Amino acid sequence: MSIESIQQTIIDEFSSFDDWMDKYNLLIEMGKDTPMIEAQYKTNNHLISGCQSRVWLHASYRDGKVYFTADSDAVITKGIVNLLIRVFSEQTPDAILNVDLGFLDKIGLKEHLSPTRSNGLLSMVKQMKMYAQVFKLKNG
Amino acid sequence: MNPNLDVSAIRADFPALHQQVFKKPLVYLDNAATTQKPKVVIERLQHYYELENSNIHRGVHHLSQQATVAFEQARKTIAELVHAANSYEIIFTRGTTESVNLVASSLGRLLMKKGDHVLVTAIEHHSNMVPWQQLCEQYDSNLLVARFDQQGVIDLEHYQQLLEKRPKIVAIAHISNALGTINPVKEMISMAHKLDIPVLVDGAQSIAHCPIDVQDLDCDFYAFSAHKAYGPMGIGVLYGKEKWLEKMPPYQFGGEMVDQVSFEKTSFNCLPFKFEAGTPNVGGVLGMETAMNYILEKGYDAIAAHENALLAYATQQLKNIEGLRIFGESPNKASVISFLVHEIHPFDLGTLLDKMGIALRTGHHCAQPIMDFYNIPGTVRASFAMYNTFEEVDVLIQAIKKASAMLR
Protein backbone atom coordinates (compact mmCIF):
# COMPACT_ATOMS: atom_id res chain seq x y z
CA MET A 1 0.00 0.00 0.00
CA SER A 2 1.23 3.51 -0.71
CA ILE A 3 2.09 5.83 2.14
CA GLU A 4 -0.80 8.08 1.17
CA SER A 5 -3.39 5.32 1.30
CA ILE A 6 -2.05 4.01 4.63
CA GLN A 7 -2.36 7.51 6.06
CA GLN A 8 -5.91 7.79 4.72
CA THR A 9 -6.80 4.47 6.36
CA ILE A 10 -5.51 5.75 9.68
CA ILE A 11 -7.45 9.01 9.30
CA ASP A 12 -10.59 6.97 8.61
CA GLU A 13 -10.00 4.81 11.67
CA PHE A 14 -9.83 7.87 13.91
CA SER A 15 -12.58 9.85 12.19
CA SER A 16 -15.42 8.12 14.03
CA PHE A 17 -14.22 9.45 17.39
CA ASP A 18 -14.88 12.96 18.65
CA ASP A 19 -13.97 12.33 22.22
CA TRP A 20 -10.33 12.48 23.20
CA MET A 21 -10.63 9.50 25.49
CA ASP A 22 -11.95 7.36 22.64
CA LYS A 23 -9.10 8.45 20.40
CA TYR A 24 -6.57 7.55 23.04
CA ASN A 25 -8.30 4.24 23.69
CA LEU A 26 -7.83 3.41 20.03
CA LEU A 27 -4.21 4.51 20.19
CA ILE A 28 -3.56 2.32 23.24
CA GLU A 29 -5.14 -0.66 21.44
CA MET A 30 -3.05 0.04 18.33
CA GLY A 31 0.10 -0.01 20.44
CA LYS A 32 -0.52 -3.67 21.16
CA ASP A 33 -0.03 -4.51 17.45
CA THR A 34 3.40 -2.90 17.22
CA PRO A 35 5.89 -5.16 15.40
CA MET A 36 7.95 -6.02 18.47
CA ILE A 37 11.66 -5.34 18.43
CA GLU A 38 13.69 -8.52 19.02
CA ALA A 39 15.12 -8.78 22.54
CA GLN A 40 18.69 -8.65 21.20
CA TYR A 41 18.05 -5.17 19.80
CA LYS A 42 16.31 -3.78 22.87
CA THR A 43 19.51 -2.14 24.06
CA ASN A 44 20.76 1.35 24.71
CA ASN A 45 22.18 1.39 21.18
CA HIS A 46 18.65 1.25 19.81
CA LEU A 47 17.16 3.67 22.32
CA ILE A 48 15.78 6.90 20.89
CA SER A 49 16.76 9.71 23.19
CA GLY A 50 13.57 11.25 24.51
CA CYS A 51 12.88 12.87 27.82
CA GLN A 52 10.09 10.87 29.42
CA SER A 53 9.16 7.58 27.79
CA ARG A 54 11.70 5.27 26.23
CA VAL A 55 11.47 4.06 22.63
CA TRP A 56 13.62 1.34 21.07
CA LEU A 57 13.76 1.17 17.26
CA HIS A 58 15.35 -1.30 14.88
CA ALA A 59 15.43 -1.25 11.07
CA SER A 60 16.25 -3.87 8.47
CA TYR A 61 16.38 -3.79 4.67
CA ARG A 62 15.04 -6.45 2.29
CA ASP A 63 14.34 -6.31 -1.44
CA GLY A 64 14.45 -2.56 -1.66
CA LYS A 65 12.23 -1.92 1.34
CA VAL A 66 12.84 -0.88 4.93
CA TYR A 67 11.24 -2.78 7.82
CA PHE A 68 10.94 -1.34 11.33
CA THR A 69 10.36 -2.98 14.71
CA ALA A 70 10.07 -1.09 18.00
CA ASP A 71 8.90 -1.00 21.59
CA SER A 72 8.20 1.60 24.27
CA ASP A 73 7.70 1.55 28.02
CA ALA A 74 4.68 3.89 27.73
CA VAL A 75 1.54 2.56 26.05
CA ILE A 76 0.41 5.83 24.44
CA THR A 77 3.88 6.37 23.04
CA LYS A 78 3.78 2.80 21.77
CA GLY A 79 0.49 3.53 20.00
CA ILE A 80 2.01 6.48 18.19
CA VAL A 81 5.14 4.46 17.44
CA ASN A 82 2.94 1.86 15.82
CA LEU A 83 1.17 4.52 13.74
CA LEU A 84 4.54 5.69 12.47
CA ILE A 85 5.66 2.13 11.75
CA ARG A 86 2.48 1.46 9.77
CA VAL A 87 3.31 4.49 7.65
CA PHE A 88 7.07 3.99 7.32
CA SER A 89 7.55 0.22 7.28
CA GLU A 90 7.63 -1.81 4.06
CA GLN A 91 8.38 1.34 2.08
CA THR A 92 11.35 2.23 -0.12
CA PRO A 93 13.99 4.56 1.33
CA ASP A 94 12.91 7.28 -1.11
CA ALA A 95 9.28 7.07 -0.03
CA ILE A 96 10.35 7.32 3.62
CA LEU A 97 12.62 10.28 2.97
CA ASN A 98 9.83 12.17 1.23
CA VAL A 99 7.02 11.35 3.63
CA ASP A 100 4.69 14.11 4.78
CA LEU A 101 3.28 13.50 8.26
CA GLY A 102 0.23 15.69 7.77
CA PHE A 103 -2.05 12.85 8.84
CA LEU A 104 -1.00 13.33 12.47
CA ASP A 105 -2.54 16.79 12.35
CA LYS A 106 -5.74 15.41 10.82
CA ILE A 107 -6.19 12.88 13.65
CA GLY A 108 -5.31 15.47 16.29
CA LEU A 109 -2.02 13.95 17.40
CA LYS A 110 0.30 16.53 15.90
CA GLU A 111 1.22 17.80 19.37
CA HIS A 112 3.11 14.57 19.98
CA LEU A 113 5.57 15.55 17.28
CA SER A 114 6.25 19.00 18.68
CA PRO A 115 9.78 19.48 20.01
CA THR A 116 8.39 20.62 23.36
CA ARG A 117 6.55 17.38 23.92
CA SER A 118 9.85 15.76 24.84
CA ASN A 119 8.66 12.20 24.24
CA GLY A 120 11.25 11.46 21.62
CA LEU A 121 8.84 10.97 18.72
CA LEU A 122 10.35 13.74 16.68
CA SER A 123 13.71 12.04 17.21
CA MET A 124 12.09 8.78 16.21
CA VAL A 125 10.95 10.19 12.86
CA LYS A 126 14.44 11.60 12.31
CA GLN A 127 15.95 8.22 13.19
CA MET A 128 13.63 6.39 10.77
CA LYS A 129 14.61 8.78 7.99
CA MET A 130 18.26 8.36 8.94
CA TYR A 131 17.95 4.58 8.53
CA ALA A 132 16.28 5.13 5.15
CA GLN A 133 19.12 7.43 4.10
CA VAL A 134 21.76 4.90 5.15
CA PHE A 135 20.02 2.01 3.35
CA LYS A 136 19.70 4.20 0.27
CA LEU A 137 23.40 5.06 0.26
CA LYS A 138 24.46 1.44 0.93
CA ASN A 139 22.21 -0.05 -1.69
CA GLY A 140 21.61 2.82 -4.06
CA MET B 1 -11.80 25.07 54.34
CA ASN B 2 -9.90 27.79 56.13
CA PRO B 3 -12.25 30.60 57.11
CA ASN B 4 -9.51 33.18 56.61
CA LEU B 5 -8.98 32.43 52.94
CA ASP B 6 -11.79 33.27 50.52
CA VAL B 7 -10.76 30.87 47.78
CA SER B 8 -13.52 31.82 45.34
CA ALA B 9 -12.57 35.50 45.64
CA ILE B 10 -8.93 34.55 45.10
CA ARG B 11 -9.83 32.50 42.03
CA ALA B 12 -11.58 35.53 40.59
CA ASP B 13 -8.23 37.34 40.70
CA PHE B 14 -6.56 34.79 38.37
CA PRO B 15 -7.72 35.11 34.74
CA ALA B 16 -5.85 31.98 33.58
CA LEU B 17 -7.90 29.72 35.86
CA HIS B 18 -11.14 30.51 34.04
CA GLN B 19 -10.61 28.73 30.75
CA GLN B 20 -11.35 25.40 29.19
CA VAL B 21 -8.81 22.99 27.75
CA PHE B 22 -10.02 20.18 25.49
CA LYS B 23 -13.56 21.38 26.33
CA LYS B 24 -13.00 20.73 30.04
CA PRO B 25 -12.60 23.35 32.77
CA LEU B 26 -8.89 23.78 33.47
CA VAL B 27 -7.71 22.24 36.73
CA TYR B 28 -4.27 23.72 37.28
CA LEU B 29 -2.15 21.52 39.55
CA ASP B 30 1.33 22.32 38.25
CA ASN B 31 2.07 25.06 40.74
CA ALA B 32 5.46 23.70 41.77
CA ALA B 33 6.55 24.36 38.17
CA THR B 34 5.02 27.82 38.04
CA THR B 35 1.96 29.49 39.54
CA GLN B 36 -0.63 31.50 37.64
CA LYS B 37 -0.57 35.29 38.02
CA PRO B 38 -3.21 37.45 39.68
CA LYS B 39 -4.59 40.45 37.78
CA VAL B 40 -2.76 42.90 40.04
CA VAL B 41 0.59 41.49 38.91
CA ILE B 42 -0.36 41.55 35.23
CA GLU B 43 -1.65 45.13 35.61
CA ARG B 44 1.51 46.19 37.43
CA LEU B 45 3.64 45.00 34.50
CA GLN B 46 1.35 46.71 32.03
CA HIS B 47 1.40 49.95 34.01
CA TYR B 48 5.18 49.94 34.15
CA TYR B 49 5.55 49.46 30.39
CA GLU B 50 2.78 51.92 29.58
CA LEU B 51 3.80 54.80 31.82
CA GLU B 52 6.98 54.22 33.82
CA ASN B 53 9.41 52.51 31.46
CA SER B 54 12.89 54.01 31.68
CA ASN B 55 16.40 52.98 32.57
CA ILE B 56 17.09 53.28 36.27
CA HIS B 57 19.88 54.68 38.46
CA ARG B 58 21.46 56.77 35.69
CA GLY B 59 18.85 59.10 34.29
CA VAL B 60 18.30 62.62 35.55
CA HIS B 61 14.88 62.78 33.95
CA HIS B 62 11.59 62.34 35.74
CA LEU B 63 10.67 58.85 34.51
CA SER B 64 14.07 57.45 35.41
CA GLN B 65 13.91 58.98 38.88
CA GLN B 66 10.45 57.59 39.42
CA ALA B 67 11.36 54.09 38.22
CA THR B 68 14.51 54.12 40.35
CA VAL B 69 12.51 54.97 43.46
CA ALA B 70 9.97 52.23 42.69
CA PHE B 71 12.74 49.71 41.99
CA GLU B 72 14.57 50.44 45.24
CA GLN B 73 11.29 50.43 47.16
CA ALA B 74 10.67 46.92 45.79
CA ARG B 75 14.06 45.88 47.14
CA LYS B 76 12.98 47.12 50.59
CA THR B 77 9.69 45.21 50.31
CA ILE B 78 11.53 41.98 49.46
CA ALA B 79 14.03 42.59 52.28
CA GLU B 80 11.12 42.97 54.72
CA LEU B 81 9.38 39.90 53.29
CA VAL B 82 12.37 37.64 54.06
CA HIS B 83 13.44 39.64 57.12
CA ALA B 84 16.85 40.58 55.77
CA ALA B 85 18.85 42.89 58.06
CA ASN B 86 19.63 45.25 55.17
CA SER B 87 17.96 45.85 51.83
CA TYR B 88 21.38 45.86 50.10
CA GLU B 89 21.62 42.17 50.97
CA ILE B 90 18.88 41.57 48.37
CA ILE B 91 20.35 40.95 44.89
CA PHE B 92 17.99 40.74 41.93
CA THR B 93 18.71 37.85 39.58
CA ARG B 94 16.89 36.03 36.79
CA GLY B 95 15.70 33.42 39.26
CA THR B 96 16.75 30.68 41.67
CA THR B 97 19.02 29.04 39.11
CA GLU B 98 20.97 32.23 38.46
CA SER B 99 21.15 32.92 42.21
CA VAL B 100 22.71 29.51 42.82
CA ASN B 101 25.10 29.93 39.90
CA LEU B 102 26.13 33.34 41.21
CA VAL B 103 27.08 31.92 44.60
CA ALA B 104 28.71 28.80 43.13
CA SER B 105 30.84 30.93 40.84
CA SER B 106 31.65 33.82 43.14
CA LEU B 107 31.84 32.20 46.58
CA GLY B 108 33.52 29.26 44.86
CA ARG B 109 36.33 31.54 43.66
CA LEU B 110 36.61 33.05 47.15
CA LEU B 111 36.73 29.80 49.14
CA MET B 112 37.57 26.80 47.00
CA LYS B 113 41.02 25.33 46.54
CA LYS B 114 42.09 22.12 44.84
CA GLY B 115 40.56 19.11 46.58
CA ASP B 116 37.94 21.07 48.57
CA HIS B 117 34.41 19.69 48.83
CA VAL B 118 30.87 21.03 48.54
CA LEU B 119 27.97 19.33 50.35
CA VAL B 120 24.44 18.99 48.92
CA THR B 121 21.59 16.58 49.65
CA ALA B 122 20.30 13.81 47.39
CA ILE B 123 16.90 15.49 47.02
CA GLU B 124 18.13 18.65 45.33
CA HIS B 125 16.63 19.98 42.12
CA HIS B 126 19.26 19.80 39.35
CA SER B 127 19.67 23.58 39.60
CA ASN B 128 21.00 23.28 43.16
CA MET B 129 23.21 20.34 42.30
CA VAL B 130 24.72 20.71 38.83
CA PRO B 131 26.33 24.16 39.52
CA TRP B 132 28.06 22.66 42.60
CA GLN B 133 29.04 19.50 40.76
CA GLN B 134 30.64 21.62 38.02
CA LEU B 135 32.40 23.75 40.64
CA CYS B 136 33.82 20.61 42.23
CA GLU B 137 35.04 19.39 38.85
CA GLN B 138 36.79 22.71 38.36
CA TYR B 139 38.60 22.30 41.69
CA ASP B 140 39.33 18.64 41.22
CA SER B 141 37.21 17.63 44.17
CA ASN B 142 34.13 15.59 45.06
CA LEU B 143 30.56 16.62 45.62
CA LEU B 144 29.41 15.22 48.96
CA VAL B 145 25.76 14.07 48.89
CA ALA B 146 23.69 13.57 52.04
CA ARG B 147 21.31 10.60 51.77
CA PHE B 148 17.56 10.54 52.29
CA ASP B 149 15.40 7.65 53.42
CA GLN B 150 12.43 5.84 51.85
CA GLN B 151 10.02 8.48 53.16
CA GLY B 152 12.06 11.24 51.54
CA VAL B 153 13.57 12.54 54.79
CA ILE B 154 17.23 13.63 54.92
CA ASP B 155 19.46 11.37 57.00
CA LEU B 156 20.84 13.94 59.43
CA GLU B 157 23.42 11.54 60.84
CA HIS B 158 24.86 11.08 57.37
CA TYR B 159 24.70 14.84 56.85
CA GLN B 160 26.71 15.32 60.06
CA GLN B 161 29.28 12.74 58.94
CA LEU B 162 29.71 14.58 55.64
CA LEU B 163 30.00 17.95 57.42
CA GLU B 164 32.95 16.51 59.29
CA LYS B 165 34.77 16.19 55.98
CA ARG B 166 34.80 20.01 56.18
CA PRO B 167 33.15 20.99 52.89
CA LYS B 168 33.69 24.65 52.00
CA ILE B 169 30.02 25.28 51.17
CA VAL B 170 26.69 23.56 51.97
CA ALA B 171 23.72 23.91 49.59
CA ILE B 172 20.29 22.54 50.57
CA ALA B 173 16.70 22.79 49.40
CA HIS B 174 14.17 24.23 51.83
CA ILE B 175 11.40 22.16 50.21
CA SER B 176 11.88 19.31 47.73
CA ASN B 177 10.10 20.01 44.43
CA ALA B 178 9.78 16.30 43.66
CA LEU B 179 8.81 14.85 47.05
CA GLY B 180 7.42 17.82 48.99
CA THR B 181 9.74 17.20 51.95
CA ILE B 182 10.24 20.28 54.12
CA ASN B 183 13.84 19.99 55.27
CA PRO B 184 14.82 21.03 58.81
CA VAL B 185 16.97 23.79 57.33
CA LYS B 186 17.36 25.76 60.55
CA GLU B 187 18.86 22.74 62.29
CA MET B 188 20.98 21.87 59.24
CA ILE B 189 22.32 25.43 59.06
CA SER B 190 23.17 25.39 62.74
CA MET B 191 24.99 22.06 62.32
CA ALA B 192 27.08 23.52 59.47
CA HIS B 193 27.78 26.76 61.33
CA LYS B 194 29.26 24.83 64.27
CA LEU B 195 32.03 24.01 61.80
CA ASP B 196 32.02 27.52 60.28
CA ILE B 197 30.64 26.35 56.93
CA PRO B 198 28.38 28.78 55.02
CA VAL B 199 25.00 27.49 53.84
CA LEU B 200 22.91 28.36 50.78
CA VAL B 201 19.20 27.51 50.93
CA ASP B 202 17.27 26.92 47.70
CA GLY B 203 13.90 28.45 48.52
CA ALA B 204 12.30 28.03 45.08
CA GLN B 205 9.50 25.88 46.50
CA SER B 206 9.01 27.67 49.81
CA ILE B 207 8.48 31.36 49.05
CA ALA B 208 4.84 30.89 47.97
CA HIS B 209 3.95 28.68 50.92
CA CYS B 210 5.69 29.67 54.15
CA PRO B 211 7.10 32.81 55.75
CA ILE B 212 10.86 33.15 55.40
CA ASP B 213 13.05 34.74 58.05
CA VAL B 214 16.64 34.64 56.87
CA GLN B 215 17.91 36.03 60.17
CA ASP B 216 16.09 33.43 62.23
CA LEU B 217 17.29 30.65 59.88
CA ASP B 218 20.72 32.28 59.99
CA CYS B 219 21.35 31.10 56.41
CA ASP B 220 24.21 32.71 54.55
CA PHE B 221 22.33 32.72 51.24
CA TYR B 222 18.69 32.24 50.29
CA ALA B 223 17.56 31.93 46.66
CA PHE B 224 14.10 32.08 45.09
CA SER B 225 12.16 32.95 41.93
CA ALA B 226 9.15 35.22 41.56
CA HIS B 227 7.30 33.02 39.08
CA LYS B 228 6.69 30.22 41.56
CA ALA B 229 5.05 32.75 43.89
CA TYR B 230 2.47 34.43 41.63
CA GLY B 231 5.06 36.84 40.17
CA PRO B 232 6.52 37.26 36.68
CA MET B 233 9.02 34.91 35.04
CA GLY B 234 12.64 35.89 34.59
CA ILE B 235 13.10 37.60 37.94
CA GLY B 236 14.29 36.27 41.26
CA VAL B 237 16.27 36.99 44.35
CA LEU B 238 19.50 36.12 46.03
CA TYR B 239 19.67 37.09 49.67
CA GLY B 240 23.24 37.04 50.95
CA LYS B 241 24.74 38.03 54.28
CA GLU B 242 26.64 41.28 53.97
CA LYS B 243 29.83 39.70 55.31
CA TRP B 244 29.92 37.28 52.37
CA LEU B 245 28.66 39.60 49.66
CA GLU B 246 31.33 42.18 50.58
CA LYS B 247 34.12 39.64 50.22
CA MET B 248 32.84 37.84 47.13
CA PRO B 249 34.16 38.88 43.71
CA PRO B 250 31.59 40.09 41.13
CA TYR B 251 29.80 37.42 39.11
CA GLN B 252 29.28 39.33 35.87
CA PHE B 253 30.81 42.54 34.56
CA GLY B 254 29.36 45.49 32.70
CA GLY B 255 27.46 48.65 33.35
CA GLU B 256 25.76 49.46 36.66
CA MET B 257 28.11 47.29 38.73
CA VAL B 258 31.15 49.57 38.32
CA ASP B 259 32.43 52.58 40.26
CA GLN B 260 35.43 54.04 38.41
CA VAL B 261 36.41 52.76 34.99
CA SER B 262 39.52 53.38 32.95
CA PHE B 263 41.38 51.15 30.52
CA GLU B 264 43.98 50.52 33.23
CA LYS B 265 41.66 49.61 36.07
CA THR B 266 38.02 49.30 37.11
CA SER B 267 36.74 49.55 40.65
CA PHE B 268 33.38 48.06 41.51
CA ASN B 269 30.20 49.56 42.85
CA CYS B 270 28.94 48.92 46.39
CA LEU B 271 26.30 46.36 47.37
CA PRO B 272 23.90 45.37 45.96
CA PHE B 273 24.92 46.87 42.60
CA LYS B 274 28.23 45.00 42.49
CA PHE B 275 26.19 41.88 41.66
CA GLU B 276 23.70 43.49 39.27
CA ALA B 277 25.55 44.02 36.00
CA GLY B 278 23.60 45.53 33.14
CA THR B 279 20.09 46.96 32.97
CA PRO B 280 17.93 45.01 35.41
CA ASN B 281 14.45 43.61 34.81
CA VAL B 282 12.71 46.63 36.32
CA GLY B 283 9.19 45.61 35.30
CA GLY B 284 9.83 42.12 36.68
CA VAL B 285 11.00 43.49 40.01
CA LEU B 286 7.89 45.67 40.34
CA GLY B 287 5.67 42.73 39.36
CA MET B 288 7.41 40.56 41.95
CA GLU B 289 6.85 43.18 44.63
CA THR B 290 3.13 43.22 43.78
CA ALA B 291 3.00 39.41 43.92
CA MET B 292 4.70 39.35 47.33
CA ASN B 293 2.30 41.98 48.64
CA TYR B 294 -0.56 39.87 47.31
CA ILE B 295 0.73 36.89 49.33
CA LEU B 296 1.16 39.03 52.46
CA GLU B 297 -2.35 40.44 52.05
CA LYS B 298 -3.80 36.89 52.01
CA GLY B 299 -1.47 35.88 54.83
CA TYR B 300 1.04 33.02 54.92
CA ASP B 301 -0.82 31.37 57.82
CA ALA B 302 -4.12 31.28 55.97
CA ILE B 303 -2.43 30.11 52.75
CA ALA B 304 -0.53 27.34 54.55
CA ALA B 305 -3.65 26.20 56.42
CA HIS B 306 -5.61 25.93 53.16
CA GLU B 307 -2.81 24.19 51.26
CA ASN B 308 -2.18 21.75 54.10
CA ALA B 309 -5.88 20.89 54.20
CA LEU B 310 -5.79 20.27 50.42
CA LEU B 311 -2.68 18.13 50.84
CA ALA B 312 -4.25 16.03 53.59
CA TYR B 313 -7.50 15.58 51.65
CA ALA B 314 -5.74 14.73 48.37
CA THR B 315 -3.37 12.30 50.11
CA GLN B 316 -6.25 10.48 51.75
CA GLN B 317 -8.27 10.32 48.52
CA LEU B 318 -5.29 9.19 46.45
CA LYS B 319 -4.47 6.42 48.90
CA ASN B 320 -7.96 5.01 48.32
CA ILE B 321 -7.10 4.39 44.67
CA GLU B 322 -6.05 0.79 44.19
CA GLY B 323 -2.39 0.39 43.22
CA LEU B 324 -1.49 4.02 43.85
CA ARG B 325 1.88 4.68 45.47
CA ILE B 326 2.91 8.06 46.87
CA PHE B 327 6.60 9.04 46.74
CA GLY B 328 7.64 11.35 49.53
CA GLU B 329 5.90 10.76 52.84
CA SER B 330 7.83 13.02 55.12
CA PRO B 331 5.81 13.94 58.22
CA ASN B 332 6.76 17.53 57.46
CA LYS B 333 5.55 18.06 53.92
CA ALA B 334 4.49 20.86 51.56
CA SER B 335 1.55 20.69 49.16
CA VAL B 336 3.29 18.56 46.53
CA ILE B 337 2.26 14.95 45.85
CA SER B 338 4.28 12.65 43.61
CA PHE B 339 2.65 9.35 42.72
CA LEU B 340 2.38 6.39 40.37
CA VAL B 341 -0.49 3.99 39.77
CA HIS B 342 0.42 0.30 39.39
CA GLU B 343 3.05 0.02 36.65
CA ILE B 344 1.46 2.73 34.49
CA HIS B 345 4.05 4.99 32.90
CA PRO B 346 3.76 8.58 34.22
CA PHE B 347 3.78 9.90 30.66
CA ASP B 348 0.68 7.84 29.80
CA LEU B 349 -1.20 8.94 32.89
CA GLY B 350 -0.20 12.59 32.42
CA THR B 351 -1.25 12.57 28.76
CA LEU B 352 -4.75 11.32 29.58
CA LEU B 353 -5.16 13.66 32.57
CA ASP B 354 -4.23 16.54 30.27
CA LYS B 355 -7.02 15.53 27.90
CA MET B 356 -9.39 15.71 30.87
CA GLY B 357 -8.34 19.30 31.55
CA ILE B 358 -5.89 18.59 34.37
CA ALA B 359 -2.50 20.28 34.18
CA LEU B 360 0.15 18.52 36.21
CA ARG B 361 3.71 17.45 35.75
CA THR B 362 5.11 14.09 34.72
CA GLY B 363 8.70 12.95 34.54
CA HIS B 364 11.72 13.21 36.76
CA HIS B 365 11.00 16.81 37.88
CA CYS B 366 14.64 17.80 37.27
CA ALA B 367 15.65 15.49 40.10
CA GLN B 368 16.85 12.36 38.32
CA PRO B 369 18.84 11.00 41.29
CA ILE B 370 15.58 10.77 43.29
CA MET B 371 13.95 8.69 40.55
CA ASP B 372 17.05 6.44 40.46
CA PHE B 373 16.76 6.00 44.24
CA TYR B 374 13.19 4.70 43.93
CA ASN B 375 14.07 2.91 40.67
CA ILE B 376 11.20 4.50 38.74
CA PRO B 377 11.15 6.35 35.38
CA GLY B 378 9.48 9.36 36.95
CA THR B 379 6.28 10.26 38.75
CA VAL B 380 3.08 12.17 38.21
CA ARG B 381 3.11 15.25 40.42
CA ALA B 382 0.19 17.35 41.60
CA SER B 383 1.11 20.55 43.43
CA PHE B 384 -1.32 22.97 45.03
CA ALA B 385 -1.50 26.74 45.36
CA MET B 386 -3.75 29.03 47.36
CA TYR B 387 -6.38 29.06 44.59
CA ASN B 388 -6.91 25.29 44.34
CA THR B 389 -10.10 23.74 45.70
CA PHE B 390 -11.30 20.49 47.22
CA GLU B 391 -13.59 20.09 44.19
CA GLU B 392 -10.50 20.14 41.96
CA VAL B 393 -9.02 17.33 44.05
CA ASP B 394 -12.22 15.35 43.43
CA VAL B 395 -11.92 15.97 39.67
CA LEU B 396 -8.32 14.75 39.84
CA ILE B 397 -9.27 11.59 41.69
CA GLN B 398 -12.06 10.68 39.24
CA ALA B 399 -9.75 11.40 36.29
CA ILE B 400 -6.98 9.20 37.68
CA LYS B 401 -9.47 6.36 38.14
CA LYS B 402 -10.74 6.74 34.58
CA ALA B 403 -7.26 7.00 33.05
CA SER B 404 -5.91 4.09 35.07
CA ALA B 405 -8.74 1.85 33.93
CA MET B 406 -7.87 2.70 30.31
CA LEU B 407 -4.15 2.17 30.76
CA ARG B 408 -4.11 -1.16 32.58
Q: Provide mean pLDDT across the span A104-132.
A: 77
B134 and B15 in one domain? no
Instruction: Determine the Cα–Cα distance for residues B318 and B338; give it in Å rounded to an integer.
Output: 11
Per-residue model confidence as pLDDT tens digits over B30-77: 999 999 999 999 999 999 999 999 999 888 899 999 999 999 999 999
Is B271 within 8 Å of B89 (Cβ atoms)?
yes
Q: What is the pLDDT of residue B1?
A: 44
Range of the domain at B332: 7-30+299-407
Confidence of residue B3 (pLDDT cuts 50, 70, 90): low
Domain limit, last residue, from B265, B297, B329: B297
Per-residue model confidence as pLDDT tens digits over B268-293: 989 999 999 999 999 999 999 999 99
Residue B375, by phi and psi: left (phi above 0), alpha (psi -120 to 50) or beta?
A: left
Q: Which chain B positions have a beta carbon within 8 Å of A20's beta carbon?
A: 22, 355-356
Provide φ and ψ at B80, rounded to 5°: -65, -40
B53 and B23 in one domain? no
CATH for B65: 3.40.640.10
Residue pairs spanning A and B at CB distance below 8 A: 44
Is B233 within 8 Å of B359 (Cβ atoms)?
no
Question: Is the pLDDT score of A118 beyond 60?
Answer: no
Residue B399, domain member (yes or no): yes
B304 and B288 in one domain? no
Q: Which chain B positions have a beta carbon within 8 Å of A118's beta carbon?
A: 363
A21 CB near a chain B CB, below 8 Å? yes
Q: Give the distance from residue B362's alpha carbon to the nearest chain A alpha carbon, in angstroms.
A: 8
ipTM: 0.89
Per-residue model confidence as pLDDT tens digits over B70-127: 999 999 999 999 999 999 999 999 999 999 999 999 999 999 999 999 999 999 999 9
The residues of A assigned a catalytic role are 51
A51 CB near a chain B CB, below 8 Å? yes
**Other CB atoms within 10 Å distance of the CB of residue B278:** 11
B46 and B149 in one domain? yes
B344 and B216 in one domain? no
Q: What is the pLDDT of residue B323?
A: 96
Please indicate whether residue B60 or residue B9 has the higher confidence score (pLDDT): B9
Instruction: Determine the Cα–Cα distance for residues B218 and B214; give it in Å rounded to an integer.
Output: 6
Q: Give the distance from residue B75's alpha carbon to the nearest chain A alpha carbon, in angstroms.
A: 35
Per-domain residue ranges of chain A: 3-139
Fold classified for A3-139 = Sufe protein. Chain: A (3.90.1010)
Residue B362, domain member (yes or no): yes
B151 and B25 in one domain? no
Q: Test A21 with B352 for CB contact under 8 angstroms.
A: yes
Q: Provide mean pLDDT across the span B297-322.
A: 97
A24 CB near a chain B CB, below 8 Å? yes
Closest chain B residue by Cα to residue A75: B348
B375 and B275 in one domain? no
B270 and B164 in one domain? yes
Domain count, chain B: 2
Q: What is the pLDDT of residue A117?
A: 57
The residues of B assigned a catalytic role are 366
Q: Give the distance from residue A111's alpha carbon to the nearest chain B alpha carbon, in angstroms.
A: 11
Residue B1, domain member (yes or no): no
Q: Provide mean pLDDT across the span B313-330.
A: 97
Question: Is the pLDDT score of A49 beyond 80?
Answer: no
Max mean pLDDT among A71-80, A119-128, B99-108, B253-262 falls in B99-108
B346 and B220 in one domain? no
Q: What is the pLDDT of residue B65?
A: 93
Domain limit, last residue, from B274, B297, B320: B297
Residue B303, domain member (yes or no): yes
B275 and B169 in one domain? yes
B248 and B331 in one domain? no
CATH for B394: 3.90.1150.10
Domain limit, last residue, from B297, B317, B339: B297
Q: Test A21 with B22 for CB contact under 8 angstroms.
A: no
B77 and B188 in one domain? yes
Q: What is the pLDDT of residue A1?
A: 83
Q: Test B377 with A51 for CB contact under 8 angstroms.
A: no
